[in-house]
Amino acid sequence: MTERLYYSDSFLRNFSSCVTDIRELSRSDGQSVWQVALESTAFYPTSGGQPHDLGVLTAISRSGAVLEVPVTAVEEDENGEVWHQTLKPLLAGTEVKGEIDWQRRLDHMQQHSGQHLLSAIFVQQLQAPTVSFHLGETSSTIDLAVNSLAQHSLERVERIANELIAEDRAVTARKIDRSEAEVLLATGALRKLPERDGEIRLIEIANCDLNACGGTHVRSTGQIGGLLVRGVERVRQGVRVEFTCGLRAVAAARQDFSVLRRSASFLSAPRSEVPAGIERLVADAKASAKELHKLREEAATYHAVKLAVEEQIVDHLRLVRRVFTDRDTDYVKLLASRLVASVPQTVALLVSEQQGLAFVVLARSGDMEFHAGNLMKEALAARGLRGGGSPDLAQGQVPAEQSGSLLDALEAAVHKAAARTSEMA
Ligand SMILES: [Zn+2]
């Protein structure tokens, strides 16, 4: 079984060891992915919410040739063996030097230790226990078993966390027997115990928190570097709190600041006045939209009268056929309905043509008796398309190059239907 060097020294970046086992994880296109086990390792495998380390294993052959093998993932199996994923094989018995990606590890230790601190304060201040922890690429989350979380409570917890970070309290690890751990659990000194047998590893933040944990942690709270709560949302099991620690907190605050600065510059306002500026813009946009709606209604009314005047009644029918390339579909529909509502014996055959598509509206005045929806449906069906509508207004859409022939077909159908109506009359 692999000896886990990070248990006793989480600040160990370089180590020497020996390959004890190798297995092929997968193979595709002639490329194998290997998993290598070592006698001892400082590489942390993904577990307990903390992602695995990255780094390099270096082997030196008897002839002195150096082989550098990047470690792309680290996992532990159910027996507790740690497997280092590589793209090159390292045979059992090979002596290796390991080096872990320190920036990544330190970042993980800051987030993970920050989580212990944050979870402890949530229990002390709000009796809100943490039910799960996730350490993500850019931010981390804990889920609290509570129904809600007031903003002022959240800010208080964040402030206390940063006070404890400034106090630089010691963070220590020790191993105890399970029986001893069970006593601590019974007295309430320990909140949770992992189910497995054997020794229990305890992580203690001086005068603040005691936790059973196999992860890697900083040596004192000062090394967490600062904690920033980034958001809260409701989840199935309670409330999810998003936070960042250390340089991540600085990066997140820097990113937020740059968003705020750009927003302020768009508004030509000081940063503190951005919310008021946006509120004003939203109100202006609403008022403008209302005004625009009113103007479009008015324009459609006048436009309809103009079209009615331009077109004479021939054989008891005023047929207005127009194609617009500068009017949207809503306006053309509005115009068609206004036109047939304002004058009798009228049929509107209007098109809005945009981006290669023709939106066709067929509308008739109330005194005409044919079914506009059926005419549209038949004309479109002849082209393998679908569409239709009510007796007095129908619509359909065709590729722009087909709009001329569709209008011809609809116009012929309208003339036929109108002639039949006037014969009956
Ligand atoms: Zn931990």
Q: How far is ligand 1, taken at its centre, from the CA of residue 299, in Å?
A: 68
Give yes or no for a contact between 339 and 348, defined as CB atoms under 8 angstroms apart.
yes
The whole-number pLDDT of residue 420 equals 78
CA-nearest of 408, 415, 380 to 394 is 380
What kind of fold does domain 294-424 have according to CATH? Diaminopimelate Epimerase; Chain A, domain 1 (3.10.310)
pLDDT in tens, 180-228: 988 998 888 888 888 777 889 999 999 999 999 999 999 999 999 999 9
CA-nearest of 210, 229, 253 to 149 is 229
Q: How far is ligand 1, taken at its centre, from the CA of residue 215, in Å?
A: 5
User: What is the arithmetic mean of pLDDT over 21-27?
Assistant: 94
State the residue for tokens 């189910």: 195
The whole-number pLDDT of residue 194 equals 80
Q: How far is ligand 1, taken at its centre, from the CA of residue 252, in Å?
A: 23
Q: How far is ligand 1, taken at its centre, from the CA of residue 236, in Å?
A: 24
Q: How far is ligand 1, taken at its centre, from the CA of residue 115, in Å?
A: 8
% of the chain at pLDDT higher than 90: 84
Q: How far is ligand 1, taken at its centre, from the CA of residue 18, in Å?
A: 28
Pairing mode, strands 3-4 and 40-41? parallel
Q: How far is ligand 1, taken at its centre, from the CA of residue 346, in Å?
A: 79
pLDDT at 271 over 90: yes
Residue 12 three-state SS:
coil
d(CA 374, CA 372): 6
CATH of domain 3-100: 2.40.30.130
Predicted confidence band at 49 (pLDDT cuts at 50, 70, 90)? confident
The amino acid that residue 53 corresponds to is D
pLDDT at 421 over 80: no
pLDDT in tens, 117-129: 999 999 999 999 9
Q: How far is ligand 1, taken at its centre, from the CA of residue 86, in Å?
A: 27
Query: Which helix (H) or strand (E) is 179 found in, with range?
Result: helix 178-187
Q: How far is ligand 1, taken at its centre, from the CA of residue 316, in Å?
A: 87
Q: How far is ligand 1, taken at its centre, from the CA of residue 210, in Å?
A: 10
Task: Read off the DSSP letter of residue 271.
Answer: G
Comparing 30-44, 130-144, 410-424, the range with the smallest average pLDDT is: 410-424
Instruction: Tell me where in the chain the CATH 2.40.30.130 domain(s) lie.
Output: 3-100
Burial of 418: CB neighbours in 10 Å, binned 0-12, 13-18, 19+: buried
**Structure token pair of residue 380:** 């479109």
Q: How far is ligand 1, taken at its centre, from the CA of residue 138, in Å?
A: 19
Measured in residues, the chain has a length of 425
The whole-number pLDDT of residue 424 equals 64
Give yes or no for a contact between 103 and 126, defined as CB atoms under 8 angstroms apart.
no
Q: How far is ligand 1, taken at its centre, from the CA of residue 117, in Å?
A: 10
* Sequence-separated contacts (24+) of 400-403 with Cβ below 8 Å: 400/353, 400/356, 400/357, 400/358, 402/358, 403/323, 403/351, 403/353, 403/358, 403/360
**Structure token pair of residue 208:** 């603040």
**Structure token pair of residue 142:** 């804990």
pLDDT at 60 over 90: no
Instruction: Tell me where in the chain the CATH 3.30.980.10 domain(s) lie.
Output: 105-266
Q: How far is ligand 1, taken at its centre, from the CA of residue 83, in Å?
A: 21
Q: How far is ligand 1, taken at its centre, from the CA of residue 160, in Å?
A: 19
User: What is the arithmetic mean of pLDDT over 125-134?
Assistant: 94
Strands (E), 226-283: 227-235, 238-245
Q: How far is ligand 1, taken at its centre, from the CA of residue 273, in Å?
A: 41
Strands (E), 136-283: 140-144, 171-176, 200-205, 209-212, 227-235, 238-245
Predicted confidence band at 373 (pLDDT cuts at 50, 70, 90)? very high
Q: How far is ligand 1, taken at its centre, from the CA of residue 206, in Å?
A: 14
Comparing 62-66, 70-74, 163-167, the range with the smallest average pLDDT is: 62-66
pLDDT at 62 over 80: no
The whole-number pLDDT of residue 376 equals 95
Q: How far is ligand 1, taken at its centre, from the CA of residue 203, in Å?
A: 7
pLDDT in tens, 276-323: 999 999 999 999 999 999 999 999 999 999 999 999 998 889 999 999
Q: How far is ligand 1, taken at its centre, from the CA of residue 332, in Å?
A: 65
pLDDT at 425 over 60: no
Instruction: Tell me where in the chain the CATH 3.10.310.40 domain(s) lie.
Output: 294-424
Residues with Cβ within 8 Å of residue 418, at least 6 apart in sequence = 315, 316, 317, 347, 368, 370
CATH of domain 105-266: 3.30.980.10
